[in-house]
Amino acid sequence: EPSEDALRAFLAQEVDRFRRPGRVTLELVHVRVGAERPEAIAYRRALEALTRLRAGEDAAAVESALGDPLPVPLPGGALTPDEVREILGPSSAAAAESLGAGATSDPVRSASGWLVLRLRAREPGAVPKFDEIRSALRAEWQRAAGERAVAEYLAELRASATLVVSPPDGAP
């Protein structure tokens, strides 16, 4: 069983393993492309949404005037990059990641149409407090200790082994 000092040292050494991802809070306008709205018309509508958002207009008002419901509604609150990628797709996640607070993306093509994203807030990733992750730290420390023990055992076997190469059957 590792001591608290050993666990704290392990956390310091493996801090990135335990870091929680940052989160973003987004506003968006989704403009659907389909039989009722061809690509070019949808794109022009997304550009109009972009202009209005960059002018400071309320995102809900722009969405109401120009947008369509998302196929999968965006949950309220802050989202991790993985959640944004899962809900909006990789292009939208990349666009969201590149935005500064208050900035609005150019229209981004999604599977269902065009998205215009505005970043309301970005929360940096953080390492949880030691007491919050003590059990996870212990489990990871034990797993890493087991891996080290196996690696050391295999190294000892290799060091003490004698390798004999035999000629194939029938070779002189």
Categorize the per-residue pLDDT at 172 as very low, low, confident or very high, splitting at 50, 70 and 90: low
C-alpha dist (Å) from residue 157 to 140, 143, 148, 150: 26, 21, 14, 11
Strand order in the sheet with 113-123: 23-32, 113-123, 108-109
- Residues 47-103: tens digit of each pLDDT: 999 999 999 999 999 999 999 999 888 888 899 999 999 999 999 999 999 999 999
Section 143-160 average pLDDT: 93
pLDDT in the model for residue 14: 87
pLDDT at 42 over 90: yes
* Distance from C-alpha of 57 to C-alpha of 75, rounded to nearest angstrom: 22
Coil/strand/helix, residue 163: coil
